Chains A and B, each alone.
Chain A
Amino acid sequence: MNMQDNDIKAQSSARELLKVAIVGHVDHGKSTFVGRLFHDTDSLPEGKYESIVAMCEKRGVEFEYAFLMDSFQAERDQGITIDTSQIWFNTEQRDYTIIDAPGHKEFLKNMVTGAAQSDAALLMIDALEGVQEQSRRHGYLLNLLGVSQIAVVVNKMDLVDYSQARFDEIEAEYRAYLTSIGVNPTRFIPISAREGDNIVNPSDKLAWYKGLTVTEALDDFKILSADDDLPLRLPVQDVYKFDDRRIIAGTIVSGQLRIGDKITFSPSGKEAVVKNIEAWPRAYTDEEKQNLVLRAGQSVGITLTEQIFVERGDVISHVEQADADSDGALMAPHLGKEFTAKLFWLGETPFEVGKNYKMKLGTAEINVRVKQINHILDAENLGQSKGDQLLRNQLGEVVLTSRHPIVLDDYREFAKSGRFVLLEKFDIAGGGVINLDGYENTREALFAHQANITRVDHAVSLAERENYNGHKGGVLWLTGLSGAGKTTLAVSLERKLFRKGLQVYILDGDNLRHGLNNNLGFTDADRRENIRRASETAALMAQAGFVVIVSLISPFAEDREKAALTQGDGFYEIYVKADLETCESRDPKGLYKKARTGEISDFTGISSPYEAPENAALVIDTAKNSVEQGANLLLEFATERFHREFSADYSI
């Protein structure tokens, strides 16, 4: 089957879809409106109307159109929508998902959930009650959530005798409010949901109104194009190694990407070239590859021309080009440790100055601290007050800091990569948009020292060293629990290899901590740095021609993978395996005892996890093998891997 012909056929049959949220103050008639909209556009499934009428009779309540939407018994009983609900209908022009977002203040998190996924919103105001606190708050939040197309529907016109004066008054008041927060409402429509005026057809009772009806206004909303024209932002979601490909996966948030593009990773500053764009069920042909452009919104997988360490949370952007036109938007994201944000808080406990939160920004997770709250915003009158906490459902402008540089975009330019959520315990408890006014971009400062470094070429090549030594250099990375026997094996192997005439040296975790790493403790970050320094040192010695035996617990797969990439070829992960019980019974340094009593925290195997290698080059089970047996297995392995025939393939 020809995939492309098939594509064209299916695309023409899949109609355009627009998602519209209905928001507004509780009791202003959202659910009634939606029920009516469905009834009047003949969109209800067969028997739905009749079954709700029958349900009302059975329960002795008067029929309401709202019941068509409120699906929980609790919602019907209380007469308020608790959770956001979705329902589908279509006009001649296109399909719609209508998202009914609750208006009750208690359920703001559900309103946010509903509204944030919409392309446009209908904001409902009760003609009798007029503009209420929630009307303003919802208007403000829609803007913050990134919903820029808003039509205001003035409902219950039947209760004010279809008065144009009342409608004009509400429009003037609310338009002034929206304009003051930077929202430009597309239109105001007077309706009566209960009577069906101006929903689908114009109403005689509202003859003074010359504008569009609700369904016409829906058809008039635009489907916003994806952010293709902005600079590229591709947050790395994961790295897959299911086969010999190393695929970097993610969803493009903005911009475009092609094979051959030169890209950079933030915050590391590493650069690479896109080698291929992966696809299933079949790979792209060479011809397709030439014209292939990945765009914003696509979930993609790419491979690179060289192996560099990339992890979830890194952000891919294009390397700055002299002729690039990015309309003033930054080609690569801003790097900094501090930023200002407009924030809405949904948490159970107050958001407070001095507290730490986990922030999810794209695919990155970062610990941030609340440095200050510039002001608390009263959505009602836009008044600002001072304070050092935001309560649930409050809005404010805050300053957040991080210990390490983070990858930031200003939301006014990058609507999607410029926003984040904060977690309180296990749940999302707030959302914010980033403002970088007044903050220095530290990107250049961070990478300036790298730019000024040029590698010195050695006068002696690696091949010469290897010929001189009579063997290849490389790294044997021994990982395993404390007490598994790494050091014992390493010492025995070092002696055996030395006896055979190899240049060999042990880098032992404990020994390194006496010198090179004596400024490091045992926090996660310090343990990572400890391993990073060990792997860089090992790689240097391997380049000098040595066989380096590294003996380090190195509990995390990711750190060992980084070490492997630092070295490249000639890196062998050796899993020194022994079950916890065995290791604990050996306890050569008395550490397990201390870990059990809590004297040592974060101890691997007891209070911190050990991720066993899945694809170790060699596994030595020290619970089953003696030291001598284990060392001999290693010796055999090392002799074979580092063996080198003399080669004349070099010149001095």
Chain B
Amino acid sequence: MSRLDDLEAQSIYIFREAFNKIENIALLWSLGKDSNVMVWLAKKAFYGHVPFPVMHVDTEKKFKEMYEFRDRYADEWNLNFIREVCPPLEEMDDTLPPAARSAARKTVGLRDATKKHGFNGLFAGIRRDEEAIRAKERVFSPRGAEGKWDFKHQPPEFWDQYKTEFPEGTHIRIHPLLQWTELDIWNYTHREGIPIIPLYRSKNGLRYRSLGDEDITNPVKSDAYTIEEIIAELGSTKVSERSGRALDHETEDAFERLRAEGYL
């Protein structure tokens, strides 16, 4: 089996496992390239149906192109789409550095939305290669009542057996793309013909490698326009994917703190 076939099969297995074992699950759709691949894989796993809600926790600060993409494909992909809005910045912990504080809105928004809909499990499109802390994640990752991640006491995970049992009050983050790399995402997007947001393509010598809120996401220098060009560029770059994400550069442990609190 090719590398992409292998990754696809694993992700489908994970989707099916979660769908069978955990009641009330939803897929977190951040509208970026990874979560679009995730929606695509869900459609593959269930033969065209996505048998759970697909939720966008909206900071209302995304790029216009992202909203256009969302509205079009929520419809075209026949998704059971839910939109929830994040609380305002003023309600966030003011000891956090600015970008982290802004990102914390998403954490709280997600926590509230999860509670409101009674979700026990959430599919999230994080990958291990994005960030060192994420490299330590499990595929089925339990959270405490407030959505907290106890990264020092994670359950073991091996032989394709996942944590699918948990006491009341915990919920599970499920990471079907954990094993994928950025390059895998693009190769797969290309192979499958998955639509992408135009912001990933170079415009005036700049493109976005990772999409977040408009005010805390910066483009990188690039002339890559087609997906083939993006793939070729990634093969040679040494700039990290999240270099355009302001919050990753604030303090040594900002990201660790955010994730422990339940940030994606």
Interface residues of A (CB under 8 A from B): 1, 6-7, 9-11, 13-17, 44-48, 55, 71-74, 82-88, 97, 109-110, 112-113, 116-117, 145, 226, 237-238, 240, 242-243, 245, 247, 249, 251, 278-281, 295, 297-299, 301, 312, 346, 358, 360, 416, 419, 421, 423, 425-428, 431
* CA of A44 to CA of B165, assembled, Å: 38
Contacts of A112 in B (CB 8 A): 156, 158
B80 at the interface (CB under 8 A from A): no
Residue of B nearest to A116 (CB): B158
Residue of B nearest to A6 (CB): B191
Contacts of B16 in A (CB 8 A): 237-238, 249, 299
Contacts of A243 in B (CB 8 A): 49
Contacts of B239 in A (CB 8 A): 45-46
Contacts of A280 in B (CB 8 A): 43-44, 47-48
Which of these, A10, A17, A48, A242, contacts B47 with CB under 8 Å?
A242
Contacts of A13 in B (CB 8 A): 187, 190, 231
* CA of A610 to CA of B19, assembled, Å: 20
* CA of A7 to CA of B3, assembled, Å: 12
B19-36 interface code vs A (CB 8 A; 1 in, 0 out): 110000000000000000
Interface residues of B (CB under 8 A from A): 1-6, 8-10, 12-13, 16-17, 19-20, 43-49, 51, 128-129, 132-133, 135-136, 138, 151-152, 154-161, 163, 165-167, 179, 181, 183-184, 187-188, 190-191, 193, 231, 238-240, 252-253, 256
Inter-subunit contact B136/A428 (CB<8 Å): no
Q: What is the minimal beta-carbon distance from B245 to any residue of chain A, in angstroms?
A: 14
12 contacts between A and B (CB under 8 A): A10-B191, A14-B4, A45-B239, A71-B133, A85-B132, A113-B138, A237-B20, A238-B20, A279-B47, A416-B159, A421-B161, A428-B161
Given the known inter-chain contacts A1-B193, A82-B152, A242-B46, please indicate yes or no for A421 contacting B159, CB distance below 8 A.
yes
Given the known inter-chain contacts A17-B3, A73-B253, please indicate yes or no for A299 contacting B9, CB distance below 8 A.
yes
* CA of A116 to CA of B157, assembled, Å: 9
* CA of A278 to CA of B252, assembled, Å: 48
Inter-subunit contact A14/B187 (CB<8 Å): yes
Contacts of B159 in A (CB 8 A): 116, 416, 419, 421, 431
Inter-subunit contact A74/B152 (CB<8 Å): yes
Contacts of B138 in A (CB 8 A): 113
Given the known inter-chain contacts A46-B239, A71-B132, please indicate yes or no for A14 contacting B2, CB distance below 8 A.
yes
Chain A contact residues, majority secondary structure: mixed
Q: What is the minimal beta-carbon distance from A434 to any residue of chain B, in angstroms?
A: 12
Inter-subunit contact A46/B240 (CB<8 Å): yes
Inter-subunit contact B132/A11 (CB<8 Å): no
Which of these, A10, A245, A295, A428, contacts B187 with CB under 8 Å?
A10
Contacts of A72 in B (CB 8 A): 133, 136, 151-152, 256
* CA of A73 to CA of B165, assembled, Å: 30
Which of these, B17, B158, B167, contacts A113 with CB under 8 Å?
B158
Residue of B nearest to A82 (CB): B152
Which of these, B4, B5, B51, B238, contacts A242 with CB under 8 Å?
B51
Inter-subunit contact B156/A113 (CB<8 Å): yes
Residue of A nearest to B133 (CB): A71
Which of these, A11, A45, A297, contacts B9 with CB under 8 Å?
A297
Residue of A nearest to B238 (CB): A46
Contacts of B13 in A (CB 8 A): 237, 251, 299
Contacts of B48 in A (CB 8 A): 242, 280-281
Which of these, B12, B135, B231, B256, contacts A299 with CB under 8 Å?
B12
Given the known inter-chain contacts A13-B231, A71-B133, please indicate yes or no for A431 contacting B17, CB distance below 8 A.
no
Inter-subunit contact A86/B49 (CB<8 Å): no
Q: What is the minimal beta-carbon distance from A460 to any residue of chain B, in angstroms?
A: 43
* CA of A9 to CA of B227, assembled, Å: 13
Given the known inter-chain contacts A251-B13, A298-B1, A299-B45, please indicate yes or no for A86 contacting B187, CB distance below 8 A.
no
Given the known inter-chain contacts A15-B3, A249-B16, please indicate yes or no for A86 contacting B158, CB distance below 8 A.
no
Contacts of B165 in A (CB 8 A): 358, 423, 425-427
* CA of A295 to CA of B5, assembled, Å: 11
Q: Which of A13, A16, A238, A312 counts the most chain B CB atoms within 10 A?
A: A13
Residue of A nearest to B138 (CB): A113
Contacts of B179 in A (CB 8 A): 97
Inter-subunit contact A226/B1 (CB<8 Å): yes
Inter-subunit contact B154/A83 (CB<8 Å): yes
Q: What is the minimal beta-carbon distance from B36 to any residue of chain A, in angstroms?
A: 14
Q: Which 7 pairs, one residue from A and one from B, show the smallest C-beta to C-beta distance?
A: A71-B132, A10-B191, A116-B158, A109-B156, A299-B12, A46-B238, A45-B240
* CA of A427 to CA of B159, assembled, Å: 14
Residue of B nearest to A99 (CB): B135
Inter-subunit contact B238/A45 (CB<8 Å): yes
Q: What is the minimal beta-carbon distance from B175 to any residue of chain A, in angstroms?
A: 13
Contacts of B132 in A (CB 8 A): 71, 85
Inter-subunit contact B156/A117 (CB<8 Å): no
Given the known inter-chain contacts A85-B135, A109-B156, please indicate yes or no for A428 contacting B20, CB distance below 8 A.
no
Q: What is the minimal beta-carbon distance from B263 to any residue of chain A, in angstroms?
A: 15
Inter-subunit contact B154/A11 (CB<8 Å): no
Residue of A nearest to B6 (CB): A297
Inter-subunit contact A73/B256 (CB<8 Å): yes
* CA of A97 to CA of B7, assembled, Å: 13
Inter-subunit contact B135/A71 (CB<8 Å): yes
Known: A10-B187, A13-B190. 7 other contacts (CB 8 A): A14-B4, A72-B151, A73-B256, A83-B136, A86-B129, A281-B44, A427-B155
Contacts of B238 in A (CB 8 A): 44-46
Contacts of B17 in A (CB 8 A): 237
Q: What is the minimal beta-carbon distance from A73 to any residue of chain B, in angstroms?
A: 5
